[in-house]
Amino acid sequence: MKKSLKIISFLITTAILFTSCKSKMASEKDSFSKGADVGWLPQMEATGYKFYDADGSQKDCLQLLKDRGINTIRLRVWVNPNDDKASGHCSPEETVVMAVRAKKMGMRIMIDFHYSDSWADPGKQNKPAAWAKHSFPELLTDVYQHTYDVLKMLKKAGVTPEWVQVGNEIPGGMLWPEGSIDNFSQLAQLLNKGYEATKAVDPKMKVIVHLDEGNKNEKFRWFFDKATENNVKYDVIGLSYYPFWLKTDYKENISDLENNLKDMASRYNKEVMVVEVGGDYTLEENTKEMLEATIKAVKSVPNNKGLGVIYWEPQGEKSWSGYQLNAWLPDGKPSPALDAFKN
């Protein structure tokens, strides 16, 4: 009888441990963000572009992405954009519609504020036309109010984003010239207004500060040391990683990306995330391997501080967008490169 009780006890303990491990593994799997930025999607659909699965059946693009392991959708928002199919749209209202649609698919949401009427990136950080003649104190109010209003609209529609980017690829600052890194104290105030507006809508939303060239540690240390000196408030360091634009193969600098991710997490005690990544759509296997390596690099950050990896406009097929770093085939089907997100 005693032996039977020992066996039963052992089996119960084993079952509990197995369930616990399984639960932990599922939790870790669910918590890692595998994402796609799909700002072009509504315009693609409006112009009649059709999306197809590998078997040739027509499907919703978000479903195709979900089937390949994508669990997060990133959406840019512009202040007063024009209606150009590729460099317009993404207004606050359009962003809300898209966010609601993505949430209904079970996706997590990231909102990327450009604080511009069109693209903001390292080469251009143009103020919205409506803010062009505003004084610096007025710009602080603009950033706060715009951020607050958009996030409030989203929340009213039933979507509370998990992450909010205050600025898009801002190694040189944003809202030039007032928010240039030449005026870092002013840039810090603008970033903090975005942070404060986000937390006023919901303190659980995590605020991201985002730079390009995620493999360049010196660049990131300079910026985030200055951010620390100027008391910038944020939760997550966001990185872009595009070997294509660096004119290299990923094998030449993936270790630099990994080292920078780990350094950012430990040096500033922040979570880190690759919020933009992409590879040449014609090099399917290379792009898939690059994605696998990037995911591995982010997951290697200690203490679960590596949050995820987001592909920029994977569905933006070349014939529609002209964009080389999409991950879609000319016949309207997803590239096999996206299977990197399945694992």
Active site annotation includes 276: yes
Q: Residue 25 to residues 16, 152, 310: CA-CA distances in angstroms?
A: 14, 34, 21
**Does residue 311 contact residue 242 with C-beta atoms inside 8 Å?**
no
169, 178, 271, 317: which is the annotated catalytic residue? 169
What's at 141, amino acid-wise?
T
Q: Is 94 labeled as catalytic in the residue annotation?
A: no
Helix (H, G, I), strand (E, B) or coil at 73: strand
Residue for token pair 């085939």? 329
CB-based contact 30:22 (threshold 8 Å): no
Q: What's the CA angle centered on 99, arms 96 and 101, to 5 degrees?
A: 110
Identify which of 22, 28, 55 has the alpha carbon closest to the alpha carbon of residue 332.
55
Distance CA 6, CA 176 (A): 72
Buried b / exposed e along 176-206 (16+ C-beta atoms within 10 A): bebbbbebbebbbbbbbbbbebbbebeeebb
Nearest-angstrom CA–CA distance, 230 and 189: 9
Annotated active-site residue in 94, 258, 276, 313: 276
C-alpha 171: how far from chain center: 17
Crossing angle of the two packed helices 136-156 and 184-201, in degrees rounded to 10? 30
What is the CB-side half-sphere exposure of residue 227 using CA atoms within 13 A? 27
Residue with tokens 């369930």: 19
Both tokens of 69, joined, read 């392991």
Residue 288, token pair as written in the block: 């898939």
**Of 331, 337, 242, 320, which Cα lies nearest the Cα of 281?**
337
Active site residues: 169, 276
